[in-house]
Structure 1
Amino acid sequence: MEQEGGVLKEGFLVKRGHIVHNWKVRWFVLRQNTLLYYKLEGGRKGASPKGQILLDGCNITCPCLEYENRPLLIKLRTRTSTDYFLEACSREERDAWAFEITGAIHAGQPGKVQQLHITKNSFQLPSHISLHDIIEKMHDSSYGIRPSPNMEQGSTYKKTFIGSSLVDWLISSHFAASRIEAVTLSSMLMEENFLKPIGNRSTGAIRSGDLAEQFLDDSTALYIFGHKRKNWKVRRFVLRSDPAFLHYYNPSKEENRPVGGFSLRGSLVSALEDNGVPTGVKGNVQGNLFKVITKDDVHYYIQASSKAERVEWIEAIKPLT
């Protein structure tokens, strides 16, 4: 544990000037409550700091997308609404600085850490977007996220992407407003098997048991696209009319956020005979089945608790399609 006033991290960052918006290399020293920066004199840091950024009440934005030609920026907004733009030399450096600065901002403020958990638990996808929509966009050859070979501890994993890249992408695609939201969203995608961890770093996080920490916003954690397992899960369904949407929730979890859902506009709903269970679906399911095919041709199989209830669901869904 760092001593009060001890150095948490130090190194070069390029800083945007306050009055004249020019960019200058400065040597930064991160302490528990301040980020000091020094001029370089003859390649060495000056004896006294050129300035300091007070971290108490500070907000950090990373990635900061305000400068298109500077993708490695971190933005700090102080309690007095002064903005600082700092540029790292690599994504790894940017993520490492953001991680340490975030830790310094929240250190000794259990309320802030609690706030992170509240954000994670209260995050809800907009009703017109489903996890399926996000995965489709991720696969899109123009706007999506391109899997590539990545190495971890000497092993190469094909068609993977790194955790922090996915977080960057979810924010730049406007699916999430902050890194916390994007991590929460990524955890939801993993919970529904749309994403899978691969390699030691990301699979190790899964074993931590805390859903909030399962997906890593990290440049060393690797993920791949998963495939929906065709097995049966107990879900609580909520039908909404405006817009027409069927959301489903995990009844074993307290938090009130759907684990998935789909738009009903342009979909087909029909009852299935008892032998109408699709091939490849595991489990011996008896009767009361109905099927919804979305306009994107995704097939959902749902089992009601009785024949009467199946009729009720189909009657309620039909007018919304």
Structure 2
Amino acid sequence: MDKPNTLREGFLVKRGHLVHNWKARWFTLMPDRLMYYKYDGGRRDSSQRGKILLKGCQITCPFLEYENRPLVLKLVTKTGVEHFLEACSREERDVWAADILAAAESLNSEDSGIGENSPDPTDVGFNNINLSKVLDSMYDVHSGITMSSHVQQGNTYSNCFSGSAVVDWLVFMQFSLTRVEAATLASALLEEGFLRTVGLRSCEALRTAGPSQQLIDDSTALYSFCDSLKKRGSVKAETSLSALELRGKVVKRGYLLKQGHRRKNWKVRLFVLRTEPAFLHYFDPTRDDISPVGGFSLRGCLVSALKDNGVPSGVKGNVQGNLFTIITQSDTRYFIQAPTQEQKMDWIDAIREQT
């Protein structure tokens, strides 16, 4: 981190204010503001593109109104300006939201002496929740949870959803204050027979876990509505990822910069590392994480770190270190830049485990 008072740094994808397109930006969280920059040629532009003042700021996480973007958090400033930011994973999204919320509450408490904007734990009481009403809301065509197709161990399951999606939805709809509380509530729905397990992961958890831990807050644990419910209409299912290379288990996700093969320009890409089979795909984060713009098998690949002193052969642009290269079995060379030295080594180690 560049400055001592920097609380957090990293890539997020931001929706524009005037033109509602999505662009990857480098964000820096300070005690009183969130600043964002553009990466130019593999190097962060020294001039900031904007800032978000955190005093009086309100945060919604998860924000699930974008059907194809489940990893968005929403910030509303004291003046009512809305900002929509997307992270590379649920873990990253939740950590960003927690750090931003902590900074905002610290500013608010300095003025009032207490955290006036903190939610009242008595507003949502688990013991007073009507499970049938929760089910009705979850099953609603327009505002309910999105059902989609999932591929697991070569099998395609339709009209289902993941455990983490259930938890996201319960928190977003304010049926629960925390993810732990939401998982407990979802387990109650499962125990009452309103939901059912789909696939091996969720079935095993149901058999071995305690009553309040039957539903797993994880993207690989699948669930659906009970068979007694009539099929819900007007459900838009996501594209089924049926290709063999996209069936593997996701072991790592993150934003990295990649040098193009033809124009040699650097662009932020969402990289997804899978195992069984081992593949590395990359996506345009301004679009979605469903259709990769590229990828390759890791079988026979060589991955190595590049020295930070000087510009390595084959690398173009004013890059700032943290580079590594992957050479595929077909001798195609990929140049990739991580935001930090630590992330570079983490990616190299994770990729080497799959080669």
Q: What's the TM-score bracket when you normalise by the shorter of the two chains? A: 0.3 to 0.5
Tell me which of the two structures has the higher relative contact order, counting C-alpha pairs closer than 8 angstroms and 6 or more residues apart.
Answer: 2
- TM-score normalised according to structure 1 size: 0.44
- TM-score normalised according to structure 2 size: 0.40
Instruction: Look at both structures and tell me which one has the larger radius of gyration over its CA atoms.
Output: 1
